Amino acid sequence: MSYVDTLIATALPAPLRANFGDDATYTPPAGAAVNTWIMLNRGGDLVSEYGETFEPRQTALLPKSDVALPVIGAALAVGTTTYRIDQIIAYDDLFHTVALSVS
């Protein structure tokens, strides 16, 4: 890992959490709950295998440092709202992008 990659991985999450993050509790279907944080996105996504279709959906960025591999069906509790992870959409070096539904 280069110095820049290390700097981004260690310095970037704190300001993101402070400005855009919501405290959350991740609970897999089988296992212990983990205190973490997420960044909610209440927009939409382009989906479809053979064409672009806009689908309204709620997604969240979940830090890999807290949850190494999220599980479909796991719960994310944010304040008084509990979400269910329906799909793991993407991931990068720092975050998993997951699709949510309100359970």
pLDDT tens for each residue of 62-99: 999 899 999 999 999 999 999 999 999 888 888 899 99
Reply yes or no on whether the pLDDT at 9 is more than 60. Answer: no
Burial class (CB in 10 A: 0-12, 13-18, 19+), 96: buried
Report the predicted TM-score, pTM, of the whole model to 2 decimal places.
0.74
**What domains lie within the chain, and their CATH numbers?**
3-102 (2.40.10)
Crossing angle of helices 3-11 and 13-20, rounded to 10°: 30
Structure tokens at 22: 């919501």
Phi first, then psi, for residue 49 (nearest 5°) are -85, -35
- Contact 70/62 with Cβ under 8 angstroms? yes
Report the DSSP beta bridge partners of residue 96.
Answer: 62, 91
Residue type, 51: G
Residue 10: what pLDDT? 58
